[in-house]
Amino acid sequence: MGPRRRHLKNAAAEGQQFRRRAIIAFLAVLGALGGLASWYFRLQVVEHAEYATRSEANRIKPRPVVPGRGLILDRKGRVLADNVPAYRLDVVPDQAGDIKQTIAALSHVVALSQEDLERFEQQRRAARGFRAVTLKLRVGEEEAARFAVDRWRFPGVELVPYLNRRYPYGPLLAHVIGYVGRIDEADLAKMGEVDAALTHTGKTGLERYYEDALRGKVGYEKIETNVEGRALRRLGSVPATPGADLKLSIDLDLQRAMVAAFGENDGSAVAIDPRTGEILAMVSLPSYDPNLFVNGISHKDYASLMGDMSRPLFNRNVLGGGPPGSTVKPLIALAGLDSGLRTPEDKVFSTGEFHIPGQKRGYRDAHGGAGWTDLRKSIAASVNFYYYKLAYEMGITRFDQYMRKYGFGAPTGIDLAGETSGVVPSPEWKAKRSKDGWYPGETVISGIGQGYWVATTLQLARGVAAIANGGNLLRPHLVASRRDGYDTPWAPLPQPAPFRITDNPAHLRAVQEGMMGTMQPGGTGYSLVRGAPYLMAGKTGTAQNTSRRGNVSVDPHHLPLSLRHQALFVGYAPADNPTIAVAVMVEHGGFGASTAGPIARKIFDAWLLGTMPEGVPMPTGPQDPNAQPDVEPAPEGAPPAVAAATPGVTH
């Protein structure tokens, strides 16, 4: 092989090539720097406001401030519904990552029940991902401490302090106060986005009726956070407006006495101040513990309540009702006077069985023939014959008009939601439910509070209060006053003007004398006045569940409990200066004078004398330190005790 050929370098060409590459690289770097500079210019100058806002949003987060729910107190300032500090665990799904893994890890720190998990999953599917969903309410202090230690492991999970609703007296006022429950989507649709931070809303009772006042207004605060989302400091706030406090006309002592007076009986009762329409006590028995519903009732507890044949969740005063029996006779007697069909002195001869002209069927009197009977005797001795004849002569159209004038067939207007209207017998009402026409016999039995009648205990209490106060049909109400702030004075709630049930004082006085006669010798309630240092006026009643068999009347005391008649009593005291009127209905109680009447007597004694039924401890509980005592004194100059005598006829 010959020698290798040597290549000579062209220094000039290589230099030129290097310069070209250097220029290209320089231009590329210059372009990159220019692009970077323009990018920085856009970020720092052109879009500065937008990114500054985003940065501020990452550093400063608004947090809603939920207001404290208003307190509910009785007339003496004892707290019936208050708020206690508690913690809940909230999860923001968009920030929590894998929800299943997060919950699995949380379950080792905080005890989570199957119901907690099911409720969370249901609410998470219905809610928006950026909105916090409560995983567990009422986190214990020990659990809260454990979570605080491991907080960094759970982004999007917060331990939130809040005020939890509590009912210190449990079942005692469940049907009056009601309860709050967790907000659902239907509630949010009504409330709007502003109140989305709230967790509870009123579901029943006063909690529902006065929800807007009790709820307050949501505020917010600006919180500075670090990169982990942990709160560092508060930068500013718009304070929440607490809910209004409500003072009821209910007297807690009288409420306890009323419940104790029923013993083991089921039923309802209302005590009302006939001068103002204020409800002094109101019970529906059996009752339930409203605290079970605040954070979601368990399946076991709910099944137990629903399976109870006595229906503890059913508010008998607002949703119930039945035939008023003889308790409505004083008002029917007043209708007979005001319609011109009777005078107080007019007498009819009671043979013990009323016959519609041309008919063989007779309508019997409970006590047989009473002989010549005027208005006062018809009330005191509860003579059915008088009212059979009066109702027949009055006719169902006029009868219906007068009963509606006295407040039947329409809600009383009490401050509780969902009140029923009841039923006043009429051909129009029957025509909507039956193809049969109206029979004269249906008019006759309407005169003694039977047939298609449906009256609530509230309506009866309102009616007897109108008799007691001189003819004013008042709106019964539970809330007497409110205050919008702890340091503000209580402001009475205005009430509508009363409606007059009669313009003839003499007619009303005759009815009152008849009701006073009920509690005197020969009256059906005479056994109730033994030892009373005050005068009473009243009317006993029995609403039949079982009719007579052929020509034989049925003694309710010999029937199974479920078939016994409803026992009723209405009355007021002191009869010469009434400060309380009551209506009592005992389910399957038999007779009014023997079952409902004694309950009413214990209620009168508790209010007028301060004598509580046996076994009733004086209540203790949270107090409002600013409340003023409001004790109803016993009447001055009360008449001497009525001498004991053999009990009168029951009816």
Catalytic residues: 326
Q: Which of left, alpha, beta for 263 (phi over 0: left; psi -120 to 50: alpha)?
A: left
Q: How do 72-73 and 245-248 pair as beta strands?
A: parallel
Contacts of residue 314, Cβ cutoff 8 Å, sequence gap at least 6? 284, 320
How far apart (Å, rounded) are the C-alpha atoms in residues 599 and 585?
A: 10
Cis check for the bond before 574: say yes or no (omega within 30 of 0).
Answer: yes
How far apart (Å, rounded) are the C-alpha atoms in residues 313 and 243?
A: 27
Contacts of residue 649, Cβ cutoff 8 Å, sequence gap at least 6? 367, 381, 524, 593
Judged on CB neighbours under 10 Å (0-12, 13-18, 19+), 582 is buried
Cis check for the bond before 617: say yes or no (omega within 30 of 0).
Answer: no
* Backbone torsions φ then ψ of 466, nearest 5 degrees: -65, -35
DSSP characters over 160-206 = EEEEEEE-TTGGGGHHHH--EEE--HHHHHHH-GGGTT--EEE-SHH
In the sheet that holds 580-586, the strands lie side by side as 279-285, 267-272, 580-586, 566-573, 537-543
Yes or no: say if 603 and 256 are a contact pair by the CB < 8 Å rule: no
Yes or no: say if 568 and 325 are a contact pair by the CB < 8 Å rule: yes
Q: Which of 155, 198, 193 is nearest to 180 (CA)?
A: 198
**Interior angle at CA 401, CA 502 and CA 513, nearest 5:** 35
Helices then strands, counting H and E runs in the chain, come out as: 21, 23
How far apart (Å, rounded) are the C-alpha atoms in residues 389 and 125?
A: 66
> 253 vs 173, 312, 313, 474, 611, CA distance in Å?
12, 22, 23, 24, 10
Do you know the residue count of the chain? 651
User: Where are the extended beta strands (E) located within 358-413?
Assistant: 362-364, 371-373
Q: Within a 13 Å sphere around the CA of 112, how many CA atoms are in the beta-carbon half? A: 22
